[in-house]
Amino acid sequence: MAQTTTSTPAAGGIDLNIGKILLEGRAFFALVAIVITFSFLSPVYFSGSNFLTMSSHVAIFGLLAIGMLLVILNGGIDLSVGSTLGLSGVVAGYLMQGVEIPSSGVILYPPVWAVVVLTIALGAFVGAVNGVLIAFFRVPAFVATLGMLYVARGVALLMTNGLTYNNLGGTEALGNTGFDWLGFNRIAGVPIGVIVLAVVALIIGLVLMRTAFGRWLYASGGNERAAELSGVPTRGVKVSVYVLSGVCAAIAGLVLSSQLTSAGPTAGTTYELTAIAAVVIGGAALTGGRGNVRGTMLGAFVIGFLSDGLVIIGVSAYWQTVFTGAVIVLAVLLNSLQYGRSGR
Amino acid sequence: MTALQTITPETFTADEVVMSARDVAKFYGPLQALKGVNFDIHRGQVTTLFGENGAGKSTLMKILSGIIAPTSGDILLDDEPVRFHGANHALAHGISIIHQELALAGNLNVRDNIFMGREIRTATGVNFAEEERITRSLMEELEEDIDPLTPVEELRLGQQQIVEIARALQAKSRILIMDEPTSALSSSEVEVLFKVINDLTAKGVSIVYISHHLEEALEITDHAVVLRDGEMTAWAPRAEIDIEWIVRNMVGENFNLGARPNSKMGAPALTIENLCVPDASGNGLVVDHINLSVRSGEIVCIYGLMGAGRTEMMECAAGRLKAQSGTVKLHTQDVSNLSISERINAGLVLVPEDRQRDGLVQTMTVGQNLSLSSIAAFTRGLFTSRKVESKVIEDSIREVTVKTESGATMIGALSGGNQQKVVIGKMLATQPEVILLDEPSRGIDIGAKAEVFKLLASTAEKRGLAVLYSTSEVGECLSIAHRIIVMNRGRIAAEFDHTATKEQIMAASGEAVHH
C-alpha cells in the first residue's frame, strides 16, 4: 500500500487516497488489527475489564512516551527516563518509610501529597540537569542522557542498597496512607493510572496545538537556526522539554510503584527504549519537528496491546521481543516513506 | 616556459573543439536556471564564464562536470553527445572540477586528500610511499611548501585551495573546470596558478575558468562566455573583448526592479557605531569599525563581494553574532546587549541570507512560518486564537503577495521567490521599525526579485520602515536604494547616492580593479 503513494503518484485517485489514508493512519489501523487478531485468538482478550487492565500497563509507557515525544520533537533524545522512573519510585518509597532527622532523632512521615510533589520535583530536577547540559554546555543529547541513565540508576541502587521498599501502604496513625490510591483505585471503573495518562496527554496535546510554547517547540525542532532568528527562545524551549520529560518519568514512577505497592531500584530498566518506540510508531520523526500526542498515544497502545495480547495467548516472552522489534522497524520504514527524502 | 621542455607536447590545433554545450537548459522545479546555452571549449585553451551571482554559472559547471544532468539540450564530447551519470562518470571521461567550496576532509592529511577515492592500490593495501612522492612533486610544481603528511585542517584557506588544485591536477584530466580558484589565494599564489594553467594548456588541457575578478580572468582567458539570469548573453574570443564589454553583458540594461520610493525621511532609525566583529579564527576582524545609519523611510543598499563582511555585520546587528566592540542603536535605544527576540520586539529584524538554513522551518506550513515571529499577537491568555492567527496569516499572504493555495500548504511546495516572500512577510508581521535583508534576491528569478524590491519600496514609503539590504549584483543597487554603501574587507570602502554608476560601484568594491 505504501508503494502506491510514493512510486506512482499518478495512479488512480481512489487507490492513492486509500494508500495515503492507510499510511497516515497506520498506527490506528495497526491497533485495530492487533485488537481484531487477538480477539479471534483468545476469548478473554475482547472484554472491557481486559482493556482496562492492559490500559493501566500502557499508562506507564504512555507517560514516558509523552515526555519522550516532547524531547524528540525538539530533535533530541532522552535515554534517562527509565532510570528517572526507577529513581522516582525509590525516592517516593524512601519518603513513605519516614525521614529521620539525625540531629533531633525525630522521624518525619510526610503526607502522600508532599511525597508526590517532592518526587515530581525530583523528576524536574533530573530533567533540568539534562537540559542545561544539552542546551548550554552543548553536550550531545544522546551522551548527556546516557550519562544520566547510569547516574540516576546508580543513585537508586545506592539509596536502597539494591533492596526494594516493600510497604508503601502507609499507616493510618501516621497520616500517610493513600499512596496505593494512584495504582489501585478506579473512578467510574477506570484505573487512576489511565486517568492520569489521559489528563497528561490532554494537557500536553493542548500545549502543543494551542500555545506559543508548542509552536516554538515545533519550530525549533524543525529548524533551530531559523527559529532562533525568528525570535524563538530556543535554549529555554530545550531545557523545558527535558524538564517535562523528567516530570513525566516521575509521574510514571509514582504510578508504577503505587500499582506494585513497592519500589525497587531496578524498576523501569530499558523502558526508555519502549517509550522511544511508541513515539516512533506514532509517526514522529527522530530528526525533530514532526509528531503529535495522538500518534504517540496510539503508538503506546500498539506496543502495550501487542505485548499483553502475546502474553494472553501464551506466546513466549522471547517471541514478544522479536515481534516488538519488528513492529518498531516497520514503523520507521513507513515513517521514511511518508516523509520521503525531506524527512531526513 | 622552461617546464615545457621536460614534457612532450602532443600535437593539436588550437581550433580543435573538445567539448560543447548545445541548447543546454536546466529547470529546478518551476525555476529556470539555464536557458539554452551554446558554446565550445577549445583544446588547450582557457574559456572563462562571466556572470553575476545567480546567473547560472554554477549550474552550468555542474552540468559540464556531470554532477547534475541538463533538463534539455546536449553536451558534446569530441562531437559525440554524452550523458554523464554523476561526477565519477565525467571524471572517467577526463573532466574534473575544482569546487569553490572546498571538498576536502580536514582530518586527513594532504596526501590522503589528493588520492581520496583513487588510492594507488597494491596487493597488500595502499602504496603510501608512491602517493607521498607524487604529492611532493605536485607541491613542487605548485611552488608550495606543504608537507604531504600535514592534516588539511592545519593549512590556511589558500593552501587548502592549492591542495584542491593539486588533487585535480593529479587526476590528469583533459578538461579542468575551476570555480573561483583564486578567491582564497594571495597574489603570488595566483601567479603560480596562472603559470600552472599555462603549462597545462600547452600540454593540451582545456580549462573552464570562473572568477569574479574580471581583470585577473582576462589575463589568462582565451574565450569569454557571459551569462545573465540563465541566458548566455555573449560569447567571444579574447581579442574582441575588454572589461567594459564584460560588465555590459553581465549586468545588462537596467531591468525594472522598482523605483526609489518618495518616502518622507525621518530621524535615524538604525545607527551602527564603530562595530567590530572578530573573524572565525579570532585574530582578525571581519567587520572592521563600521559606522552607518539608516533613517526612517530610507532604503540603503550595501554592495560587496563574498567575504566583504556584509553578512556578519547584519547578523551582529540582529543579535546573532557577538560584537567585539561598538554599538547598535534603534532610534535612541541602545540594543547592543539585547537578545535576538528582544531586538525583534524592539523593532529590529533580519531576513537572513540562507533561506533554507536560517529562514524557514521546512516541517511547518506556510502559515506557521509566516506567524512564527508574531505569536504574541494572536495569543489570548494562555492559548493561541486560531481565528486571529488565520487573520494574521491571511493579511500577511496578501501584503507580501505569496502565491500559495492557502496558509495550510507546506512551505516546501512553494517556489524560491515565494519562500523568500514568506521569510520577509514573517518579519514584516512583527511590525518592525528597521528591517535588515541579507541578499534578499539570492536564488530567486527576476520576476520575483522585482516583486520583492517593490514590496520593500512600498513598505518603506507607507510605514516609514528603514530598510538596509545587501547585494552582490550591482544592478540591484541602483533600483530602489536612496544610498549605496560599498563594503570591502570588513570596511566601508565608499558611499554613493542614487546617481552613482555601476562602474563606480564595482570599482569601489575591489572587483575589476588592478591586479
- The predicted complex's ipTM stands at 0.84
Which residue(s) pair with B236 in the sheet? Answer: B224
Which residues on chain A are in Cβ contact (under 8 Å) with B363? 218, 221-223, 285, 288-290
Report the alpha-carbon distance of residue B393 to residue B368 in Å, rounded: 8
pLDDT mean across residues, chain B: 85
A215 with B362: Cβ contact below 8 A: no
- Phi then psi for residue B378, to 5 deg, are -125, 25
Nearest CA in chain B to A207: B383
A230 with B426: Cβ contact below 8 A: yes
Instruction: Give mean pLDDT, residues A201-230.
Output: 95
Residue A7 has pLDDT above 70, yes or no: no
From A211, A221, A231, residue closest to B340, measured CB to CB: A231
Would the CA dihedral through B212, B215, B221, B226 be positive or negative?
positive
The grid coordinates listed for B490 are 570588513
Q: What is the pLDDT of residues B428-460, one digit of tens each?
A: 999 999 999 998 987 776 678 888 999 999 999
Residue type, A149: L
A227 with B412: Cβ contact below 8 A: no
From B320, B341, B350, residue closest to A233, measured CB to CB: B341
Which residues on chain A are in Cβ contact (under 8 Å) with B339? 233
* Highest-scoring range by mean pLDDT, B4-8, B119-123, B507-511: B119-123
Residue B503 has pLDDT above 50, yes or no: yes
B253 band by pLDDT with thresholds 50, 70 and 90: low
A344 band by pLDDT with thresholds 50, 70 and 90: very low
Instruction: Give mean pLDDT, residues A259-272.
Output: 90
With an 8 Å Cβ cutoff, is B325 touching chain A? no
Q: What is the pLDDT of residues B139-164, one digit of tens each?
A: 998 888 889 999 988 887 778 888 88
The 3-class secondary structure across A26-59, one letter per residue, is HHHHHHHHHHHHHHHHCCCCCCHHHHHHHHHHHH
Report the alpha-carbon distance of residue A182 to residue A194 in Å, rounded: 10
Residue B53 has pLDDT above 80, yes or no: no
A289 with B368: Cβ contact below 8 A: no
Residue A278 has pLDDT above 90, yes or no: yes
The Cβ of residue A30 has, within 10 Å, a number of other Cβ atoms equal to: 21
pLDDT of residue B511: 58
Residue B128 CA to chain centroid, in angstroms?
Answer: 37
Q: Find where cell 533538463 sits.
A: B71
Which residues on chain B are in Cβ contact (under 8 Å) with A290? 363
pLDDT of residue B478: 84
Q: Find the helix or strand (DSSP H, E) in which B208 lies.
A: strand B206-210
Q: Find the helix or strand (DSSP H, E) in which B223 lies.
A: strand B223-228
Nearest CA in chain A to B365: A219
pLDDT of residue B256: 66
Which residues on chain A are in Cβ contact (under 8 Å) with B350? 229
What SS3 state is found at B438? coil
Instruction: Kindly provide the b/e burial profile for residues B387-404, where b requires at least 16 CB atoms within 10 angstroms of the residue's own CB.
Output: eebbebbeebbebbebeb
pLDDT of residue B255: 57
Report the alpha-carbon distance of residue A287 to residue A279 in Å, rounded: 12
A289 with B363: Cβ contact below 8 A: yes
Which residues on chain A are in Cβ contact (under 8 Å) with B393? none
pLDDT of residue B5: 33
Instruction: Give mean pLDDT, residues A332-342.
Output: 71
- Phi then psi for residue A205, to 5 deg, are -60, -45
Task: Name every residue whose Cβ is closer than 8 Å to that of residue A49 and which is 6 or more positions away in sequence.
Answer: none
Share of chain B above pLDDT 70, in %: 94
Judged on CB neighbours under 10 Å (0-12, 13-18, 19+), A310 is buried
Asked if B152 contacts B106 with a C-beta cutoff of 8 angstroms, the reply is: yes
Which residues on chain B are in Cβ contact (under 8 Å) with A222? 361-364
How distant, in Å, are the alpha carbons of B172, B200, B221, B238 from that of B44?
14, 7, 11, 14
* Highest-scoring range by mean pLDDT, A189-193, A246-250, B120-124: A246-250
Report the side by side order of strands in the sheet with B466-471: B348-351, B434-437, B466-471, B299-303, B483-488, B491-497
Instruction: Give mean pLDDT, residues A55-71.
Output: 95
Query: Which of B355, B357, B364 to mutate: most A Cβ within 10 Å?
Result: B364
From A211, A232, A290, residue closest to B363, measured CB to CB: A290
Taking the CA of residue A213 and the nearest CA in chain B, the distance in Å comes to 10
Residue B301 has pLDDT above 90, yes or no: yes
Report the alpha-carbon distance of residue B483 to residue B475 in Å, rounded: 14
- Which B positions 56-95 lie with beta carbon below 8 A of chain A? none
pLDDT of residue B11: 56
pLDDT of residue B292: 93
B214 band by pLDDT with thresholds 50, 70 and 90: confident
With an 8 Å Cβ cutoff, is A228 touching chain B? yes
Asked if B9 contacts B202 with a C-beta cutoff of 8 angstroms, the reply is: yes
With an 8 Å Cβ cutoff, is B373 touching chain A? yes
pLDDT of residue B271: 95
Across the A/B interface, how many CB contacts are shorter than 8 Å?
77
